[in-house]
Chains A and B, each alone.
Chain A
Amino acid sequence: MSRPEDTLYADVHYDDVEARKYTTSSRIQNIQASMTRRALEILDLRTPSLILDIGCGSGLSGEILSSVPEEEGGPHVWIGMDISPSMLDVALQRDVDGDLFLADMGQGVPFRAGSFDAAISISAIQWLCNAESSDTSPATRLSRFFGGLYASLKRGGKVVCQFYPKNDVQKQMITSAAVKAGFGAGLLEDDPETKNMKVYLVLTAGQAVAGKAGDITNVVEGMDGVDVQDNRRKPQKGGRGEIKKGSKLWIIKKKEQMERKGKVVKATSKFTGRKRRVQF
């Protein structure tokens, strides 16, 4: 499968021709629609909400947000941002309901704190792993994006980002950037280990539902066919927990570390780590 991310920048790749192709292809439309519905299902919004659509493109996902029927908690109002002018042009011609912005997600999210109920992003955030010029790096772009996103969400807001990670390193990089920004993060994989695998990054900002911990596993709990794999490190209990700095154990540990690095280290004896007697 070809990855446009590897060759070009998003605003260059999605030119007029590519944007039209993308939007008129019924295959892409179907995939986008089903992913948006899945994202909405995870978000579980009960009342009409204000949603941020990151990388909204031609508004394929936004259309679905606006068309959620009343009994399912819609219709939602959305604000979309995208970096490709051609994509936004197609969106204008299609006369979508949401407000559109020409903005780069890697430069942050220009909304004040606590603006949105939720945010979605369909097939976009893998672009953050490419830096456009030498004065930015993927790490800064990721942290700027997730930092801004975290701030602009109301407490308890949820984000679902579907994305196409190139490899496990990218997955790890994106997830850890989100966690660093303060989100509770989890990855949901649909149809794992098939060609149609879809990866959703599910994030919660602050305390989720009242009475439940702000934990991502609670979000997907009770959904059909979801296996929870918790890879988080459990806190170590008792026994050999933390070694006190300056203690004999700590000194021995440090000496071992230095030895492994190939440094010359004095042999450990019964005097190691002992205090010197007070001199007369």
Chain B
Amino acid sequence: MKVLTLNFLTCAARSCKQSSDSFPLHPKEAELASDDVELNPQLLSNLLPRLDWNALRTTSTELGFPALPEQPPTLEELESDEKTLKDLHSLLMETNLMEGKLVCGHCGHEYAVKEGIANFLLPSHLV
């Protein structure tokens, strides 16, 4: 699962929908893999306004990457500075979470991730 996807994923339980703790999910015992994906600058600039930068910072620290700057790059910076673009691309698109768990900060439910597929089937009492 891409780090990009992690930035959009929340807990599926209905009681967690209202709580701000249910996003982002916290990766535990994560095994990462790197994948080669072709750079797509336009996609990144499309996605940039929709990214939750604070959540991305939390996720990347929890995955053990060096800390991201406090402010997200602006669209102009992204277009002019190739290094920023490449860094963002390799973090969002090329880094994959292969094995591990995703833990909700509100209800504590653990979603298992196997071979890059997260299991979001909920037991009926949580639905």
Contacts and interface: CB of A to CB of B under 8 A. Distances in A.
The 6 closest A-B pairs by CB, nearest first: A103-B120, A110-B12, A48-B43, A115-B8, A99-B5, A102-B119
Contact of B5 (A79, A92, A107, A108): A79
5 contacts: A49-B43, A92-B116, A101-B120, A108-B14, A110-B11
Contacts of A81: 120
Interface string B105-127: 00000000001111111101001
Contact of A111 (B2, B10, B122): B10
A238 to B, nearest CB: 44
A83 interface: yes
B24 to A, nearest CB: 9
B53 to A, nearest CB: 14
Nearest to A114: B50
Contact of A110 (B1, B42, B93, B120): B120
B71 to A, nearest CB: 20
Given A77-B4, A99-B2, A102-B119, 7 more contacts: A50-B43, A50-B46, A100-B116, A102-B118, A107-B127, A108-B127, A110-B9
A154 interface: yes
A101 B118 contact: yes
Nearest to B43: A48
A121 to B, nearest CB: 17
Interface in B6-60: 8-12, 14, 23, 37, 40, 42-43, 46-47, 50, 52
A112 interface: yes
Q: How large is the interface on B (under 10, 10 to 19, 20 to 34, 35 or more residues)?
A: 20 to 34
Nearest to A79: B5
A104 B122 CA distance: 8
Nearest to A154: B50
Interface of B: 1-2, 4-5, 8-12, 14, 23, 37, 40, 42-43, 46-47, 50, 52, 93, 115-122, 124, 127
A88 interface: yes
A102 B120 contact: yes
Nearest to B46: A47
A165 interface: no
Contacts of B119: 102-103
Contact of A112 (B10, B40, B122): B10
Contacts of B116: 92, 99-100
Contacts of A135: 124
B99 to A, nearest CB: 13
Contacts of B122: 104, 107
A182 interface: no
Nearest to A80: B117
Contact of B43 (A77, A102, A114): A77
A102 B9 CA distance: 13
Contacts of A30: none
Nearest to A109: B12
A50 B47 contact: yes
